[in-house]
Amino acid sequence: MTVTTEKATNQVDRPRELLADWPGLFEKVVERIQDDYSTVATFYAELVVEQALAYIATCAVYDQENPPFELEDGFNMLTPSRAVDVGIHAFLDFTKDWREFTAKLTGGKFLDHIPVTNDSITSGRSLDLTVRVMRHYGWSVDDRMWERGASCGSTDNCGLSAVMLA
């Protein structure tokens, strides 16, 4: 296993700038959260979407087989928090845009939504690693959005895995 020790720098100052090629999509995802997922203030829904975009971008470049730093016990699974998962699900509702966006981030792959369950997710261990990896790749992480707990229901969590499109 090759371990990268230097911190990566992100070329995007704000996660919403990742959607520059999809005018109005950020606002549509925010509205979807507010209309269909949760009755929250606009600033909160915007924060959810921004943190979801940073998480998605992290998943697009993260290689489980070659993590960017030494892992204590080999555990290498990234997963979103309950709050961030809402943003992912709202974005997934715009399937065509999701496919185009994730293909752009991954160089032609599709980030597939894969609910998983294990003790490292429910304990918060996976979230701790996710936040550490996001910060490594230069994303600003709002700790309020990354509190412990499962998403995708009470026992599953939504991981993202890159797969080639047919």
pLDDT tens, position by position, 8-55: 445 556 899 999 999 999 999 999 999 998 889 999 999 999 999 999
Predicted pLDDT at 160 = 60
**Mean pLDDT (whole number) for 47-73:** 88
d(CA 151, CA 157): 5
Amino acid at 57: A
Give start and end residues of each alpha helix (H) in the chain. 25-32, 42-61, 82-92, 95-106, 119-122, 125-136
Q: Is residue 70 part of a domain?
A: yes
Q: What is the residue range of 97's domain?
A: 15-164
Are residues 34 and 45 in contact, defined by beta-carbon separation less than 8 angstroms? yes
Quote the mean pLDDT of the chain.
81
Total of domains in the chain: 1
Q: Is residue 26 part of a domain?
A: yes
Residue 3 has pLDDT above 80, yes or no: no
Residue 105 has pLDDT above 90, yes or no: yes
70: CB partners within 8 A, 6+ apart: 3
Residue 77 has pLDDT above 90, yes or no: no
Q: Is residue 3 part of a domain?
A: no
Q: How many CB atoms lie within 10 A of CB 147?
A: 11
Q: Is residue 38 part of a domain?
A: yes
Q: Is residue 118 part of a domain?
A: yes
Q: Is residue 103 part of a domain?
A: yes
Q: Is residue 5 part of a domain?
A: no
